[in-house]
Amino acid sequence: MRPRSVLVVVLAAAALAGACSSGSKKPTTSTTAEPPTSSIPPAAQPASGGVPWVLPPNPMELSQQAGLVPETAESLTFHVHAHLDVFVNGSAVLVPGGIGIDITNPGVHTFGAGDQAQYGGISKACDKPCISPLHTHGPDGILHTESKTATPNKLGQFFTEWGVKLDANCAGGYCKPDTSVLIYVDGKKFTGDPTTIELSDRKEIAIVIGSLPAQIPKTVPY
């Protein structure tokens, strides 16, 4: 073989080797502080503050602690509905009807029974304050703001009325870093303080504890 032919063969072999070498390199990957959502482990039942979260026995006192002023009847000057979903290990948690309402007051009517009961129908004013401007009528997750002033309430106020802890790290007795607690607003992850979320009309809020449900709600179901 002549020298020129040898040089061409050597250069071609080198080029081929380079191409194979570059093709066999593994692509670089980036890492994040948060594990993929598919790998989130189930939440363990905490020693206290675990679900179910039931109706508190002192609704008017808790309403005042939330900075709200209970009334003797509903005021519909400002009337909006947000929606709350709570999931623990993929299962929906009941948001009971009657939060923010004194269901023992004779002026408050009860419709249905048990977990599915609904409260309200205050056709005649109660003899004393019996309903907060922020409340639930039924176990449908609808958070009613019915007030005299056009001031949106906040999620933290509702959880105070429910008697359930909520802050940047905890929902009830489920707390980071031991348990994953994720907040979604209209289907998008919310990373701020959940107590500050405004309960504006048709806002969908989901609190997801432990492993995820099949779907994260993006819109209100009504």
For residues 134 and 158, the answer to whether their CB atoms sit within 8 Å is: yes
Q: Is residue 124 included in any domain, yes or no?
A: yes
Q: Is residue 9 included in any domain, yes or no?
A: no
* The pLDDT value given to residue 167: 98
Q: Is residue 77 included in any domain, yes or no?
A: yes
* The pLDDT value given to residue 136: 98
**What's the one-letter identity of residue 37?**
T
Q: In this prediction, what percent of the chain has a pLDDT beyond 90?
A: 82
Report residue 170's pLDDT band, with 50, 70 and 90 as the boundaries. Answer: very high
Q: Is residue 26 included in any domain, yes or no?
A: no
* The pLDDT value given to residue 38: 66
How far apart are alpha carbons 48 and 175 in whole angstroms? 11
pLDDT at 57 over 80: yes
* The pLDDT value given to residue 186: 98
Q: Is residue 60 included in any domain, yes or no?
A: yes
Q: For residue range 8-55, what is the model confidence (pLDDT) as tens digits? A: 333 333 333 333 333 333 333 333 344 566 689 999 999 999 999 999
Q: Is residue 5 included in any domain, yes or no?
A: no
* The pLDDT value given to residue 222: 92
Q: For residue range 193-209, what is the model confidence (pLDDT) as tens digits? A: 999 999 999 999 999 99
Q: For residue range 76-128, what is the model confidence (pLDDT) as tens digits? A: 999 999 999 999 999 999 999 999 999 999 999 999 999 999 999 999 999 99
φ, ψ of residue 127 to 5 degrees: the values are -75, -10
Q: Is residue 85 included in any domain, yes or no?
A: yes
Residue 152 φ/ψ region, left for φ over 0, alpha for ψ in the -120 to 50 degree band, beta for the rest: beta
* The pLDDT value given to residue 176: 97
Q: For residue range 122-166, what is the model confidence (pLDDT) as tens digits? A: 999 999 999 999 999 999 999 999 999 999 999 999 999 999 999
Q: Is residue 214 included in any domain, yes or no?
A: no
How far apart are alpha carbons 209 and 175 in whole angstroms? 9
Number of domains comprising the chain: 1
* Cα-to-chain-centroid distance, residue 199: 12
Residue 16 φ/ψ region, left for φ over 0, alpha for ψ in the -120 to 50 degree band, beta for the rest: alpha
Strands (E), 2-152: 78-88, 91-92, 109-111, 118-120, 134-135, 142-147
For residues 143 and 82, the answer to whether their CB atoms sit within 8 Å is: yes
Give residue 104's domain range: 48-209
Question: In the numeric block, which tokens belong to residue 87?
Answer: 């999931």
* The pLDDT value given to residue 36: 62
Predicted structure pTM score: 0.84
